[in-house]
Copies of this chain bind each other. A is one copy, B any other.
């Protein structure tokens, strides 16, 4: 299943994205296009189709972004939002308890009163895009050092965002695109009263489990419905997607509107080598360590397994995705292909006047990559929810004392509401799980930095990682939302005076965290400037146009419903409802291949021929999970939920030879809600 954004999987851990971009020479249906720069000519040329402004505006406004990492769409005038079960699972987990296991058992609200409010979901609906490139760049003077330039840009971005927020009340994000060649202000409506309406059982949503994940053919009902509320009432929504009356068929042109999280298509060969040789092996070691840790915790019993479920799933999903990415890079064919285009570009550049200055950028990227490799184990944070809450509180109160334009990005005025939504979330936390995670994170910190390291010595203070974690988790008061609120309201003074062990620990980390973050942002800036030059070089050779690398902002992709060849066999693009039962039967000896009882009870009433899943060539990546798939008429035909195993290289290389996006067919969703989940009223509301 498509990786949810990694930072989303790990709650509030912030990951700085290097926003880079890709240019013209696209292959097949490649591209994740900005809604203010749609590929109209390509679509005309390739598919004889030209979307109208109204078509695009409607699709944009019907699309939503989930702060838990993923995409979705409005599907009724009464605020219904369709997304994936695996995007919703973060919320399903938080709404569950020992007595109510929504992840395993699913959920159905038969009326509005039964709908369950998500503790900390925020949905964003993009309203407008404004180009603020000139204003951002004007803040920088010639002769500024990279660090000074970065600081000024960040300051100007904070100012623009705050102005916009003050003027419109809307969430305002300045997005860096094309390696800093463009800055766009994205204004979004925020929905924070989001309620769960319907979710199927995991056995249906994630049928086939980890074994089938990223495979095809598939038979998954990876769908969930939420409803957004305003002022305590279901929101009235103007732009929502209607259901297509006819299901997709082989060869159909389709569009995907969603929020791809991050791609690295612009990466130079040296940057890809860094990924292959350093970063991905390191990330995989970390993921496997966490996976085993969560598995071991889950062995303690059913309730322990329930508590660790969503995190374990996220880790397994990421591990499988990164494994595929690394395998792709370890295939010399990938590097040759990337190397050939780079060599072609560089050799053409040689004839240009500014060739020397431009190729310097490639060297700078190689140097930055080497410096990054050296910092992979400079761990300065701990992936424990309680610790992260403490660190947020420490940073928030300290940043509040600074002028808006000097703050760390996520503590700016414009970002404040979204941050507080997270920090003050009433979502449950589990001391047993936190203790195990924190102990391992502290052990890892000591392994990475060494026991003689100043930070490690200060934090451990002669105790073992387990002893420190046990004491801190047992004694912290941060489980209590009101304690968090009091600390935030009390500001730096209250934080300094606090004897909460988790707050004390966060204070011990604060300066190392700030130093590491500053160093990282400095590397980001150098890389950004170098990629801006690479961009210019590409434009010089290939001409203007194209799409920027993914940045978790709204994009449009397109493609056709199309099968592919695998091991000499043709894989058909569509599966049908009947296939799910056959698939279960073929794998009856395997874990995670049992359909829920609700399916068997409804089997005789189901239409066996109704399409269940399908693949298409649209260019997607993690973050696209939950994206609507629409036809030429802008009607809903599917719901993106995965890429096949061959698509795992899409991070750095699109190909439509075998790589495919995998969707739930829209008809299967209504049919299942009606026949299996017996909610005809809900089914009737969809698309109306």
State how many angstroms separate the Cβ of A338 from the closest Cβ of chain B: 14
Number of interface residues of A (CB under 8 A): 41
Which chain B residue lies CB-closest to A457? Answer: B332
The answer, yes or no, to whether A342 is at the interface (CB within 8 Å) is: no
The answer, yes or no, to whether A134 is at the interface (CB within 8 Å) is: no
CB-defined A-B contacts under 8 Å, sample of 22: A210-B296, A210-B299, A277-B450, A281-B447, A285-B285, A285-B289, A288-B288, A288-B291, A288-B292, A291-B292, A292-B319, A299-B590, A299-B591, A301-B590, A302-B589, A327-B443, A327-B464, A327-B466, A330-B446, A330-B451, A331-B464, A332-B460
State how many angstroms separate the Cβ of A679 from the closest Cβ of chain B: 30
A273-312: contact bitstring with B at CB < 8 Å (1 yes, 0 no)?
Answer: 1001100010011001101100010011110000000000
A285-B289, A292-B288, A319-B292 known; A211+B300 contact, CB < 8 A:
yes
State how many angstroms separate the Cβ of A296 from the closest Cβ of chain B: 8
The answer, yes or no, to whether A462 is at the interface (CB within 8 Å) is: yes
Please indicate the chain B residues that have their CB under 8 angstroms from the CB of A296 in the complex. Answer: 210
Please indicate the chain B residues that have their CB under 8 angstroms from the CB of A467 in the complex. Answer: 331
Interface residues of A in 193-224 (CB under 8 A from B): 209-211
Contact of A288 among B210, B289, B299 (CB under 8 A): B289
Please indicate the chain B residues that have their CB under 8 angstroms from the CB of A451 in the complex. Answer: 273, 276-277, 330
The answer, yes or no, to whether A100 is at the interface (CB within 8 Å) is: no
State how many angstroms separate the Cβ of A646 from the closest Cβ of chain B: 13
The answer, yes or no, to whether A356 is at the interface (CB within 8 Å) is: no
Distance A288 CA – B291 CA, assembled complex (angstroms): 9
Distance A685 CA – B465 CA, assembled complex (angstroms): 52
Please indicate the chain B residues that have their CB under 8 angstroms from the CB of A289 in the complex. Answer: 284-285, 288
The answer, yes or no, to whether A333 is at the interface (CB within 8 Å) is: yes
Please indicate the chain B residues that have their CB under 8 angstroms from the CB of A591 in the complex. Answer: 299
Distance A527 CA – B173 CA, assembled complex (angstroms): 60
The answer, yes or no, to whether A463 is at the interface (CB within 8 Å) is: yes
Contact of A464 among B210, B288, B333 (CB under 8 A): B333
Please indicate the chain B residues that have their CB under 8 angstroms from the CB of A284 in the complex. Answer: 289
Q: Which 9 A-B pairs have the closest CB atoms?
A: A331-B464, A211-B299, A302-B589, A288-B288, A281-B447, A285-B285, A288-B292, A332-B462, A301-B590
The answer, yes or no, to whether A112 is at the interface (CB within 8 Å) is: no
Query: B464 near A332 (CB under 8 angstroms)?
Result: yes
Please indicate the chain B residues that have their CB under 8 angstroms from the CB of A514 in the complex. Answer: none
Please indicate the chain B residues that have their CB under 8 angstroms from the CB of A447 in the complex. Answer: 277, 281
Query: B464 near A330 (CB under 8 angstroms)?
Result: yes
Distance A288 CA – B288 CA, assembled complex (angstroms): 6
Which chain B residue lies CB-closest to A589? Answer: B302
The answer, yes or no, to whether A681 is at the interface (CB within 8 Å) is: no
State how many angstroms separate the Cβ of A261 from the closest Cβ of chain B: 23
State how many angstroms separate the Cβ of A71 from the closest Cβ of chain B: 28
A292-B288, A292-B291, A292-B319 known; A301+B589 contact, CB < 8 A:
yes
The answer, yes or no, to whether A587 is at the interface (CB within 8 Å) is: yes
Please indicate the chain B residues that have their CB under 8 angstroms from the CB of A465 in the complex. Answer: 330
Q: Apart from A288-B291, A333-B464, list 5 A-B contacts with CB within 8 A.
A: A210-B299, A292-B319, A301-B587, A327-B466, A332-B460
Interface residues of A in 615-661 (CB under 8 A from B): none
Distance A327 CA – B443 CA, assembled complex (angstroms): 8
A434-460: contact bitstring with B at CB < 8 Å (1 yes, 0 no)?
Answer: 000000000100110011000000001
A326-338: contact bitstring with B at CB < 8 Å (1 yes, 0 no)?
Answer: 1100111100000
Please indicate the chain B residues that have their CB under 8 angstroms from the CB of A589 in the complex. Answer: 301-302
State how many angstroms separate the Cβ of A278 from the closest Cβ of chain B: 9
Interface residues of A in 140-194 (CB under 8 A from B): none
